[in-house]
């Protein structure tokens, strides 16, 4: 898969193309425009599929049901799971959050998601069991409930942070700080300056090499 390195102005067509070309790209960068153009394209597809599905359901009352739009809706939803995660990662990298920090963030995010779901079902089962046979004490149920509330709170905080981050401009979290913990989380301006110099020197050397080769010819 292509590595996505969006810079400057990104058109709707480029954003949609990069969304699918960067299917497994978790190391590139996606700008704010690139992210939201891609989201708009997804919304448009969903609207079309939902309208088709509803019209098919209504039409099936008077004839044979057509399962094609429902199948396409499910397949499309499954198909965009991975690129939706990868574009989120690229968008957060574009803000200046480092890869290791992002890995930790997503592990915590999805860990909290599944832990909360587990706690939710555990509470539900516990409540049913308590009602039927009084097998769980009130204290035990209270512990499950408190854990579920804490997990839900942390999940909500991280979700809000990630949602707001999608609206922020490129390099928003880039820092001037040299504190080890801060530079572990965020890219420093010093890193960007050094990287820019390396790229410029590389391009200059390439141009000089091409020039000397042409002179020999």
Given this model, what pLDDT does residue 136 score? 47
Extents of the domains making up the chain: 1-95, 98-170
CA distance 127 to 117: 15
DSSP assigned state of 82: H
Note the pLDDT tens digit of each residue in 15-74: 999 999 999 999 999 999 999 999 999 999 999 999 998 888 887 777 777 888 889 999
C-alpha torsion 33→37→40→41, nearest 10: -170
Instruction: Please give the C-alpha separations between residue 208 and each of 201, 202, 204, in angstroms, as whole numbers.
Output: 10, 10, 6
Given this model, what pLDDT does residue 11 score? 96
pTM: 0.77
| For residues 164-176, average pLDDT | 94
Q: What is the 3-state secondary structure (H, E, C) of 14-41?
A: HHHHHHHHCCCCCCCECCHHHHHHHHHH
Given this model, what pLDDT does residue 204 score? 53
The token pair that represents 165 in the structure block: 């981050």
CA distance 92 to 95: 5
CA distance 149 to 154: 9
Which of 102-111, 156-165, 168-177, 194-203 is the least confident region? 194-203
CA distance 45 to 23: 18
Which residues touch 114 (CB under 8 Å, ≥6 apart)? none
The residue that leads in pLDDT, 4 or 124, is: 4
Beta bridge partners of 29: 5
CA distance 33 to 10: 6
Q: What angle do the packed helices 138-165 and 99-133 form, to 10 degrees? A: 150
Note the pLDDT tens digit of each residue in 96-152: 999 999 999 999 988 888 887 777 776 677 666 666 655 444 454 455 556 667 878
Helix (H, G, I), strand (E, B) or coil at 97: strand
């Amino acid at each position: 898969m292509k590595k996505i390195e969006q810079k400057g102005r990104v058109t709707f067509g480029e954003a949609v193309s990069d969304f699918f070309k960067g299917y497994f790209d978790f190391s590139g960068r996606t700008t704010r425009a690139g992210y939201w153009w891609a989201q708009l394209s997804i919304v448009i597809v969903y609207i079309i599929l939902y309208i088709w599905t509803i019209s098919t359901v209504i039409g099936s009352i008077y004839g044979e049901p057509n399962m094609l739009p429902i199948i396409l809706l499910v397949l499309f939803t499954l198909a965009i799971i991975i690129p939706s995660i990868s574009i989120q990662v690229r968008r957060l990298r574009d803000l200046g959050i480092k890869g290791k920090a992002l890995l930790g963030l997503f592990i915590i995010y999805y860990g909290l998601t599944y832990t909360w779901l587990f706690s939710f079902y555990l509470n539900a089962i516990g409540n049913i069991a308590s009602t039927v046979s009084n097998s769980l004490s009130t204290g035990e149920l209270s512990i499950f409930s408190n854990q579920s509330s804490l997990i839900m709170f942390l999940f909500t905080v991280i979700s809000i942070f990630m949602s707001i981050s999608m609206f922020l401009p490129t390099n928003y979290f880039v820092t001037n700080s040299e504190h080890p913990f801060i530079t572990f989380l965020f890219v420093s301006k010093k890193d960007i300056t050094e990287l820019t110099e390396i790229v410029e020197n590389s391009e200059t050397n390439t141009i000089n090499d091409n020039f000397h080769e042409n002179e020999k010819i």
